[in-house]
Amino acid sequence: MTISDDATTADPYAATSRATTEGTVYTVTGGDWDSVLGANLDEERIVVNMGPQHPSTHGVLRLVMELEGETITSARTVIGYLHTGIEKNIEYRNWVQGVTFVTRMDYLSPIFNETGYSLAVEKLLGIEAPPRAQVIRVLCMELTRISSHLVAFATGGLELGALTAMTNAFREREMVLDVLEMITGLRMNHAYVRPGGLAQDLPPGAVEKVRDLLEVLPARLKGIDDLLTGNPIWQARTQGIAHLDVQGCLALGVTGPVLRSAGLAWDLRKTEPYCGYEGYEFDVATSTDADCWGRFLVRKQELFESLKIIGQALDKLEPGPVMVEDTKIAWPAQLALGSDGMGQSLDHVKKIMGTSMEALIHHFKLVTEGFRVPPGQVYTAVESPRGELGFHAVSDGGTRPYRVHVRDPSFTNLQATAAMCEGGMLSDAIAAVASIDPVMGGVDR
């Protein structure tokens, strides 16, 4: 076999070029820069594509940036790489099954997705979950807020080169997830909050486990605080970076920590309380820095505010039902721990299979068909770790959602990328996106 002369001299990795009306355009990847630097360039205008598979873009986010030197003149976000059609799929399931879909959207704050969705269905039905269920919802939501903010520090730190922030924050997050796993059965995608209440009550020992966590966590969070807050590199990478003031936030629809870091104390837990948040003592964290540093400070303070809320929630726990008493809505199967894990309680199976045909029919109809929801439309919102998480639910009176649209905060907040990045340095674009803390599962749904 002879190797042709052409194959030995031509560089298979050389940058390709093509002539356009705006001059020669080179397509460059990896180590092609030598061949471009050899070319005679009239102007230094570089379009850099980052992602969707890039370790610094916070998920499958794609950034297309135009550079003059190292300064960004134009930044565009391209999304949709994680689109799974959750809103379409929900229309083919019944109202209860919708919970298992929405919980997978913003996978770092699943309890918020479930609660927001359940509140929407409950508003359509005109029912309210019992007090104990509300308290447990608050408890789980605040635990999730802590775990979610810890990931914001972990991935944000990693993207800026603070590897220890990542290892430490993921370690503390795992402690929180252990508690959530004990309560709901899963670390993520819990499907624990259901329309009308909860899938099940707290298991024995859960309250003690949460109290243990409250003992340990403050010192651990203080550790992350010590690691990052006083760190001069962390400060240099975040202070004065990706500035966005209140006016800009409102125009771009930005909510959550980014809005609060600009100085507006807007938190739905205070302004439109749900799940009994009006009965809890806590402060809304704000900052006036309006930059990545301010967003870090806001998230950090929110961790400690969440700890306060969790402590109060434990004190508020009174015995009682965790599901509405209407048996036409509440899931008929009483769950119990069996030899093969959590499942329908044997007592319940014995009753429906052995003694009550009516109960069997009722069980069958409710599980296969689901309950009907009066026609109409509602919008409910909860304050997720990333901002206002809104659910627009439409019912036509059937047993399936006619339409559920999710106003995901990450989706909306990502629009601020251009405003935060343009005019800044390329390296600061990473800090900007990290400070928005988008979760692509929620963005693309």
Partner 1 sequence: MTVSGSGPTPGAVEGSAVAPTGAPVRPGADMFGAAAGGDTSGFGGLVRRAPLDASSPRPFGTWFDDAVDALVDTFPGFGDAVTRVVVDRGELTLHVRPERVAELCRHLRDDPDQRYELLLGVSGVDYPSTAERFHVVYHLMSMTYRRRIRLETQVALEHPHVASVTGVYPTADFHERETWDMFGVVFDGHPALTRILMPDDWDGHPQRKDYPLGGVPVEYKGAQIPPPDERRSYA
- Block residue for tokens 């739905």: 268
Residue 411 binds partner 1, judged by CB under 8 A: yes
Which residue from 233, 251, 337, 357 is in contact with partner 1, where contact means CB under 8 A?
251
C-beta of 46 vs 394, nearer to partner 1: 394
- Block residue for tokens 């590897």: 163
Residue 338 is inside which H or E element, if any?
A: strand 335-338
Residue 69 binds partner 1, judged by CB under 8 A: no
Least Cβ distance, residue 89 to partner 1 (angstroms): 7
Residue 329 binds partner 1, judged by CB under 8 A: yes
C-beta of 347 vs 369, nearer to partner 1: 369
Q: Are 372 and 397 in contact (CB under 8 A)?
A: yes
Residues in the chain: 445
Binding letters toward partner 1, positions 198-237, x by CB under 8 A:
----------------------------------------
Q: Are 295 and 257 in contact (CB under 8 A)?
A: yes
C-beta of 153 vs 277, nearer to partner 1: 277
Q: Which of residues 386-405 bind partner 1 (CB under 8 A)?
A: 388, 390, 392, 394, 396-400, 402-403, 405
C-beta of 157 vs 390, nearer to partner 1: 390
- Taking Cα atoms as reference points, which of 187, 180, 177, 176 lies closest to residue 203? 180
Residue 377 binds partner 1, judged by CB under 8 A: yes
- Contact segment (CB under 8 A) with partner 1 among 22-30, 281-289, 295-303, 378-386 equals 378-386
C-beta of 217 vs 404, nearer to partner 1: 404
Where would I find the beta strands (DSSP E) of 82-216?
193-194, 197-198
Cis peptide before 55, with omega less than 30 degrees from 0?
A: no
Least Cβ distance, residue 165 to partner 1 (angstroms): 30
Q: What angle do CA 173, 178, 184 make, to 5 degrees?
A: 120
Binding residues for partner 1, rule CB under 8 A, total 64
| DSSP track, 223-252 | HHHHHHTT-HHHHHHHTT-S---HHHHHHT
Instruction: State how far the Cα of 28 lies from the Cα of 48, in Å rounded to an integer.
Output: 9
By CB atoms closer than 10 A (0-12, 13-18, 19+), residue 378 is middle
Residue 359 binds partner 1, judged by CB under 8 A: no
C-beta of 67 vs 367, nearer to partner 1: 367
Residue 375 binds partner 1, judged by CB under 8 A: yes
State residue 342 phi and psi, 5-degree precision. -70, 135
- Contact segment (CB under 8 A) with partner 1 among 77-85, 180-188, 201-209, 283-291 equals 77-85
Least Cβ distance, residue 263 to partner 1 (angstroms): 13
Residue 31 binds partner 1, judged by CB under 8 A: no
Structure tokens at 392: 């627009």
Least Cβ distance, residue 200 to partner 1 (angstroms): 23
User: Please, which residues bridge with residue 64 across strands?
Assistant: 49, 76
Which residue from 23, 69, 85, 343 is in contact with partner 1, where contact means CB under 8 A?
85
C-beta of 351 vs 365, nearer to partner 1: 365
C-beta of 70 vs 369, nearer to partner 1: 369
Which residue from 32, 181, 272, 422 is in contact with partner 1, where contact means CB under 8 A?
272
- Contact segment (CB under 8 A) with partner 1 among 8-16, 215-223, 292-300, 384-392 equals 384-392
C-beta of 72 vs 404, nearer to partner 1: 404
Q: Which of residues 96-135 bind partner 1 (CB under 8 A)?
A: 123-127
Least Cβ distance, residue 116 to partner 1 (angstroms): 13
Least Cβ distance, residue 434 to partner 1 (angstroms): 20
- Block residue for tokens 């508003």: 123
User: Please, which residues bridge with residue 228 across strands?
Assistant: none
The site for partner 1 (CB under 8 A) is made up of: 79-80, 83, 85, 87-89, 91-93, 123-127, 250-255, 264, 266, 271-272, 326, 328-329, 361-362, 365-366, 368-379, 381, 388, 390, 392, 394, 396-400, 402-403, 405, 407, 411-412, 414-415, 444-445
